[in-house]
Structure 1
Amino acid sequence: MVDVLVLTEKVKNTIVLGESHFREFKSAFEGRPDNKKPRLVKSICSDIGEALVAFANADGGEILIGVEDNGTITGIPHDDTDIQTMLNAINTHVYQKQQLPIVSANKITLDDKVILYFSVNKGSTMIYQLPDGRCVRRKDKSTMPAEINQIQFERQEVKSREYDRHFVDGVTVSDLDLPLLQSIADKYIKGLSIERYLQQVGLAEYGIAGLRLKMAAVLLFASDIDKWHPRSQVRFLKINGNTLEAGEKYNVISDDSVKGNIFELIMKAWENLRSYLAYKTEFGSNSRFEQKYIYPEDAVRETILNAIAHRDYSIMNGIEIYIFDDRMEIKSPGALLSTLTIKNLYELEGSHESRNSLIAKVLRENQLMRELGEGMKRIFGLMEEQELTKPELYSNGSWFKVTLLNKTVFNQKEIEWLNNFEQFNLTKLQKQVVLLGLGNRDIAPNDIFRALNISNTETEKFTQEVTVLRKAGILTEIMTSNQAFHMAKKIKKDKKDIARYRIVLP
């Protein structure tokens, strides 16, 4: 039986937190502010079904009926029969009466107003559909259409997907890092007790014998992680050269590990790894000495975070990081989920699928993970900003690997050309323009637009970059705008296709 007081507090906290990837509010009214009237029951039921299906197909979540988008409680003006119809939407507004993994479907009273509270777990045994056969899933604060084959998964993945949600026998709150947990609870809602926080975020539930903790709570907060998971660790191997040798040629210079709960592991892994990646110390712009790294610092941190958050904890192996002279490989236990492909990730469209939905939720709400699905996109972007080759991704039946390459995007000929302009500290975009002059080639405006990866209508960006290069004396005009106009007219070409610039060596 649901503890009404606990549920009421949980709902109040949910309203305080506001809408998110995991929470949605829906009004039971419609119309202008000065002429509100009750919404049709059918419409409300559709909202309930759509939200719960979307949450179940993503990372789980909650929907409140009778609460406005801004968190104002306006209640449900409908009678008991209509309210019962809404509560039954968990059965009537799902495809062929599929059984959603419902956690709660309850009527409660807040501020003397009736509201409905529904919560659902992430699905792990089937893909859920709406009555008309459509498939939807939650992405950030929106419900998005999805193809069923995009979220199909194999039966062997069920254990992996459910691992962080199963209850752990014998563990109590005293087995957790209480100072860490209390600080996390206070950041979530000031004054919230540890027990209430664990229930609020779905990491624990009260049973007959007291508070029962899920594996996600243990992995995130255990004070002695070895007692519950022997391989919550990251291993670092520094290799002399670009190939790992065996036997007499064994070339591992150092081999060490860090372990701990997930919050500890994220911090310890980066602190340990950074010593391998620093290649020089120089006097920075803030008049202080700064460490410079082989790879973008944030790209490495994001890669480690993704590995820790999305690895398969049902496999009793740890994460391994191999640091070669020319690359770094981060290997995580567990294959890429069948709902994702390497191609999806390379397309950088924010493809996302959480193996550990509770862990991902806690990390995101503590601002350790940014928008869901954006991690890989961010890693690729940071490598590109530093002019390094894009990461390589690989997955087999046992592990997933990200390789960060210590290799520039420019070939040797381009590097030699760009070295002529080293004194100017050119940006990546400016270098792309300068490369157009390789081989003493004359340059048209449309060449520059393409080099900047913008359309030829985005003149503000074009002017900004061209002005900098012209002021530096790198880009010179060999034909005036007026001359280019007459030339284009004469040969019947677009003026922007007329070569009127040239790169000048300093």
Structure 2
Amino acid sequence: MCDVERLISTGENEEIEFKENFDFNGIVETAVAFANKRGGVILVGVRNNGTVVGVQTGRETLRDWANRISQNTDPPIIPELEVEDINGKKVLCIKIDEYPIKPVMFRGRAYMRVGSSNKRLNAREIAELYYRSIRHSWDYITISAGLEEINSEAVREFVEVAKNRGRLNVLEGEDLETILEKLELVRDGKPTRALILLFGNDPQKYFPHALVRIAKFRGSEIEDEITIDGNLFNQVEEALKFIRKHINIRFKIGEKAQREELWDYPPEALREAVINAIAHRDYAEPDEIQIKIFNDRIIFWNPGGLPFELKIEDLYRPHPSRPRNKLIAKVFYYFGYIEKWGSGIERILRALREYNLPEPKFEEVFGGFQVTFYKDIYTEEHLRELGLNDRQIRAVLYVKEKGSITNKEYQELCKVSRITATRDLSELVEKGILMRVGRGKRGIKYVIQMMQK
């Protein structure tokens, strides 16, 4: 609850502002000033002297003001709005959280709360504000919750695993609160957002959009779906469990007559994709992580694009680590979810290569980051189901291994004439299995369509 009466009795200060009516410019300017400082509350329907005059509000009013504040601030502020009745008069309470990466702008201008007024910042002050802010991340901010909200057993399990991995040193007899303070998950006796998400009994109480939604599709129809809540460790494990339920596994006899499991996708790549989505999503965005499982691909989408220092093409080569949520990433590293800083994408690429699968597709779409894994549907069994003859099956398996095949190579591989090779290859192109690339008699070759980036 906003506790309007208490706030009014406190009076306007660095964290409280009174507005008699819906003054658009004044409200958004103050919202920006609060976001650039420590956050604050705007009470609409209260005069400067603390007299409650009330305002007319409704469901549409709240939605409209939340949208107007978000749409007119850069980066967008997501306010919390609620209405409280004071002696029969309605007061709108607009709660603004401190924004982790500053400055927040309104119409190209930045403001900072100083005392009970808003100060417009100059270029030097904006630069200073930015450099101060990048020491921390969104998950570093504390929230108004008690440590009783934390699952102490989950914390103990984490500490034990991290100690056994040699990544966390804990003194004998050290209590949990001290350990959490050393990990920066507790500051001034208050839990950080990271602590609530990682070990909270009910993280969605504070962050309702911190969810993972997964669906298995058959064509365009949803065959099975699940929404996963709880702490982030639970989300990782339950997401992987659901994915494994809906992908195929086969077995082969490997070296030393040992049976080897072969999934549609390498488990290591699936694990990295899920962990990356959960660790690096933008939790300030009111969207859920979405994972879509199709017969020929899996799509992972999380809110929030790449850090501005990185481009899509950088992901296909070694690149520095730029965690959006530094505390969450650090805890995942201690726990063993992250093996080495900045290595997650590299591990995905390597695992897919070892499975002879196409490279994943990385995209910034729909306001977020998306990764698509493509399934190897070109097994001998599946190719036979498509009606291919033995020569064509042998050629497709050859292309999977070598990357391409020419007409001449087809003739030599299958011991056939050029006319037969041309006919077989043309059928493979018509079926959408192979693609003809290059020019000229000697420059033409055939590749598997799904292997094209």
Q: TM-score, normalised by structure 1?
A: 0.47
Task: Write the distance in 2 (CA, Å) between the matches of 1:439 and 1:287.
Answer: 33
| CA distance in 1 between partners of 2:169 and 2:348 (Å) | 31
Look up the match of 1:292: 262
Check conservation: 2:216, 2:293, Cα contact below 8 A: yes
Q: Is the 8 A contact 1:388 1:408 kept in 2?
A: no
**How far apart, CA to CA, are the structure 1 residues paired with 2:392 and 2:185?**
54
SS of the aligned residue for 2:213 comes to strand
- What is the aligned partner in structure 1 of residue 234 from structure 2? 264
Contact 1:329 1:401 in 2 (8 A): yes
8 Å CA contact 2:274–2:300 kept in 1: the answer is yes
The match for 1:230 among 188, 194, 208 is 208
What does 1:4-403 correspond to in 2, within 5 Å? Answer: 124-125=101-102, 162-169=137-144, 171-186=145-160, 187=163, 188-190=168-170, 191=172, 192-206=174-188, 211-241=189-219, 244=220, 251-280=221-250, 292-346=262-316, 348-396=317-365, 398-403=367-372
Q: Secondary structure, in 3 states, of the residue corresponding to 2:299? A: strand
Q: How has the CA–CA distance of structure 1 residues 291 and 232 changed in structure 2, closer, same or farther, with 3 Å as cutoff?
A: farther
Shift of 1:418: 6.7
What secondary structure is seen at the aligned counterpart in 2 of 1:404? Answer: strand
Are the counterparts in 2 of residues 279 and 294 from structure 1 also a CA contact under 8 Å? Answer: yes
Structure-2 change in CA distance of 1:163 and 1:434 (3 Å): closer
In structure 2, relative to structure 1, the CA distance for the partners of 1:386 and 1:317 (3 Å cut) is: same
1:355-383 CA-partner distances (Å, limit 9, x unpaired):
10111111112221021111111111111
Structure 1 residue 175: Cα displacement:
1.0
Residues 1:253 and 1:262: Cα distance change in structure 2 (over 3 Å)? same
- State the AA in 1 paired with 2:176: I
CA offset at residue 233 of structure 1? 1.9
| Separation in 1, partners of 2:256, 2:207 | 44
Deviation per CA, 1:270-293: give whole Å up to 9, x if none. 112110112446677798876532
Per-residue deviation, residues 129-187 of structure 1 (Å, max 9, x unmatched): xxxxxxxxxxxxxxxxxxxxxxx9xx8xx89x732011101x22221111110232342
In 1, the alpha carbon distance for the partners of 2:227 and 2:345 equals: 25
Name the counterpart of 1:66.
none
- Match of 1:390, SS state, is coil
- Which digits, 9 at most, give the CA deviation of each residue in 1:306-341, with x for residues without a partner? 000000111122111111111110010112222211
Judging changes above 3 Å, is the alpha-carbon distance between structure 1 residues 294 and 168 closer, same or farther for their aligned structure 2 residues? same
Identity %: 25
State the AA in 1 paired with 2:154.
Answer: L
Post-superposition Cα deviations, 1:11-36, rounded to whole Å, max 9, x if no partner, equal xxxxxxxxxxxxxxxxxxxxxxxxxx
Aligned partners of 1:420 and 1:395: how far apart in 2? 34
5+ residue gaps, structure 2, are 1-99, 104-126, 414-453
Structure 2 distance, partners of 1:301, 1:439, is: 38
Give 1:164's aligned amino acid.
D
The CA distance in 2 between the partners of 1:172 and 1:395, in whole Å, is: 37
| Aligned partners of 1:164 and 1:358 also within 8 Å | yes
Q: Deviations over 1:74-119 (max 9, x none)?
A: xxxxxxxxxxxxxxxxxxxxxxxxxxxxxxxxxxxxxxxxxxxxxx
Query: Whole-Å Cα distance in 1 between the matches of residues 140 and 276 of structure 2?
Result: 19
Over the aligned positions, Cα root-mean-square deviation in angstroms equals 3.6
Q: Is 1:299–1:383's contact at 8 Å kept on the other side of the alignment?
A: yes
Shift of 1:439: 4.3
Mapping of 1:449-468 within 5 angstroms? none
What residue ranges of structure 1 are gaps of 5+ in the alignment?
1-122, 127-151, 245-250, 422-427, 443-506
CA distance in 1, matches of 2:314, 2:392: 31
- Shift of the alpha carbon at 1:295? 0.8
8 Å Cα contact 2:101/2:138 also seen in 1: no
| Contact kept? 2:264, 2:376, Cα under 8 Å | no
Contact 2:211 2:227 in 1 (8 A): yes
Retained in 2: the 8 A contact 1:388–1:409? no
CA displacement at 1:231 relative to structure 2: 2.3
> Any idea what the Cα deviations from partners look like across 1:450-471, whole Å, max 9, x if unmatched?
xxxxxxxxxxxxxxxxxxxxxx
Number of aligned pairs?
A: 269
Taking structure 1 as reference, are residues 387 and 197 closer, same or farther at Cα in structure 2, changes over 3 Å only? same
Equivalent-residue separation in structure 1 for 2:411 and 2:266 (angstroms): 33
Is the contact made by 2:215 and 2:225 (CA closer than 8 Å) also made in structure 1? yes
Q: CA deviation at 1:416?
A: 2.2
Are the aligned partners of 1:387 and 1:409 in contact in 2 as well (CA < 8 Å)?
Answer: no
Q: Is the 8 A contact 2:141 2:193 kept in 1?
A: yes
Change (3 A) 1:418 1:316: closer
TM-score, normalisation: structure 2:
0.53
